[in-house]
Structure 1
Amino acid sequence: MQGLSPTAAGVAFLARPGRPAVVARSLAELVGPRHGVVELPVRLMWSADRAFDLADPDDLLWMYENVLRESTRGDDLRRLIDGETLRRVWPLLNLPRGVRQAWESRHHCLRAA
């Protein structure tokens, strides 16, 4: 798990029972798209409709929620999430408690948001 951590301080926060949340070590490494339409891979979104228009605020939130909840790979986080956008929308995201705790314990700026 190079470049990412399932924990902030040795404590695993769960995205769902039995699976730790995956967290980027740095928000700066998150260089995903800020514009356009993004199609998520099936491993992150099982629905047939996996395309998200980032100009649509609801689509953006729904995509980020799915990626943060379902990611098991740091590459997915780096490729699909933008660090500045994540900081901006963080308070609006509907995330499992374990995912929110994992990200906020590693990235204190999100907790302040």
Structure 2
Amino acid sequence: MRDVKIQVLREAVHALSPELEDNSEVAVQEHFLTGKGQDWLEEVFRALGGKGRAPLLKKLKFDLKIGRNVFLYDDEVHFNRYRLETLRSRVYEEMTFEWIAAHKRLCRTYEKAA
């Protein structure tokens, strides 16, 4: 069902923006994770029960990309206690995200479905 929803979304967006790229990958810039970035990553890794050093991905995969904007489709199962734990990290206190309260609410609402 997720794939069907994403395909419908792609078709709608493509009609508005021919720059649309499907299933794009973005390389992780390791220098962004030095200092504070590394601290945030380690904090979330520990909060989720990780042991040792947090793994570092080489690339991130997104459902859609338009220019420099990337989009990741989340359905109900993505909003759960683990996502909520990541949303409680310092990165969301130190940076402003208008959608944070809504995402936390979705995590609490859909935890049972996940």
TM-score by length of 2: 0.26
Q: Which structure has more RCO (C-alpha within 8 Å, separation ≥ 6)?
A: 1
